[in-house]
Amino acid sequence: MAEEVLFTPIKVGRMELRHRIVFPPITRYRADDDGTPNEELAPEYYSERCLVPGTLLIAEATDVSSRGGGWPNAPGIFTEKQIAGWKKVTDAVHAKGGFIFDQVWNLGRVNVGTKLPDVYSASDVQMPERPKPRSLTIAEIHEMVDEYGVAAANAIKAGFDGIEIHGAHGYLVDQFLQDVTNLRTDEYGGSIENRAKFGLEVVAKCVEAIGADRVAIRLSPFSKVQAMRMKDPWPTFSYFISQLQLRFPGLAYVHMVEPRTAGNNDQIPEEGDSSEPYRELWKGIWIAAGGFTQDSAREYTASHPNTLVGIGRYYTSNPDLVAKFKERMELVPYDRSTFYTNKSPVGYIGWKYSEELKGKYY
């Protein structure tokens, strides 16, 4: 029975998915220098991950604007060239019967080079030197909210099925939400309501641009990556999710990172950490990601209605992961050393499909 639920169809926004395994957003730094997805690599990389039709992929974090980005070879979605580059990716995914959302981010203070103790440490990417972070002006905040809306519209132009706002892992939306980074004393800081204001405005702007059923958000209340994590995340994040439920009940999904992972790695949860009470506040589709195994993915989706699970690291080395899960086959270990090798095809494409799946899936 548990097995069946993971491979049961589910409607998410406008999409009819055929099972509940999701490829979560995974930054790989393989885009061209101008932020265009590389046409030799990206269409193949994404489309081969929907070997099983009806799979949902969430594209890697994508810059909403030039000033919101800054990491070398991360993609963007703010120029016509980038949009055309993504169109090749989304066409390739759709040709396989897959679906693809784009995760959109503004790096915020991470972009400006703060010395953070635990910034994606496996990265061999040379981060550019940048000035010290500062508070945004109110006018800049309004512009940045608008940039998410433009990015959402551009994503639809690029053929994406929707967007996931990156509200996790210490990027701009998360920086506003959490008191460890939000030191403002104006209408965007201080109280929970004020700290939630930016994220809720971003959601509203994207909903206005492309419709609630094509908008989603990812949150990570427990993650310590990028020097985040409030002492007690519950008051802030329960408020935020309750507001999503109240104002935007038609969002495609809410995506939460489980307490046992942070960014690209495992972490030891704090005592009592659990995504459960947060999930209970959201009545729509819920995606949980972080540290799931073949068994726990089956158990989770079987015991929690309207849920899907993201499988990150193992999906990098197993493009045929969904089929392997279905057949309960052993997975190829992932290779952390090639997670972020800029522009290199090595460790990005070229992972072999299992011979045993031949004829049945490809």
Asked if 24 interacts with ligand FMN (CB under 6 A), we say yes
Closest CA to 51 of 351, 293, 345: 351
CB 33, min distance to ligand FMN, A: 19
Residues of this chain, 294-333, that bind ligand FMN according to CB under 6 A: 311-313
Asked if 37 interacts with ligand FMN (CB under 6 A), we say no
- Residue 5 or residue 287: which is nearer to ligand FMN going by CB? 287
**Burial status of residue 113 (CB atoms within 10 A of its CB: 0-12, 13-18, 19 or more):** middle
- From 32, 48, 60, 102, residue interacting with ligand FMN (rule: CB under 6 A): 60
CB 138, min distance to ligand FMN, A: 27
CB 243, min distance to ligand FMN, A: 21
In this structure, which amino acid lies at residue 256?
Answer: M
Q: Is 253 a catalytic residue?
A: no
- From 168, 173, 210, 251, residue interacting with ligand FMN (rule: CB under 6 A): 168
In this structure, which amino acid lies at residue 105?
Answer: W
Name the phi and psi angles at 304, rounded to 5. -125, 110
Which tokens hold the place of 337? 């050393």
Q: By the 8 A CB rule, do 221 and 173 touch?
A: no
- From 300, 339, 348, 351, residue interacting with ligand FMN (rule: CB under 6 A): 339
- Which H or E element spans position 7? none
CB 123, min distance to ligand FMN, A: 9
- From 5, 21, 26, 104, residue interacting with ligand FMN (rule: CB under 6 A): 26
The catalytically annotated residue of 171, 253, 278, 340 is 171
Which tokens hold the place of 101? 């959302």
Rounded CA-CA distance 86/71 in Å is 18
Three-class DSSP category at 65: coil
Locus of tokens 């790989």: 28
Residues of this chain, 279-298, that bind ligand FMN according to CB under 6 A: 289-292
Go through 271-299 and write b for each residue having 16 or more CB atoms within 10 A of its CB, e for each that does not. eebebeebbebbebbbbbbbbbebeebbb
CB 359, min distance to ligand FMN, A: 28
Query: C-alpha 168: how far from its chain's center?
Result: 8
List the catalytic residues: 171
Residues within the interface to ligand FMN (CB under 6 A): 24-27, 60-61, 103, 166, 168-169, 218, 257, 261, 263-264, 289-292, 311-313, 339
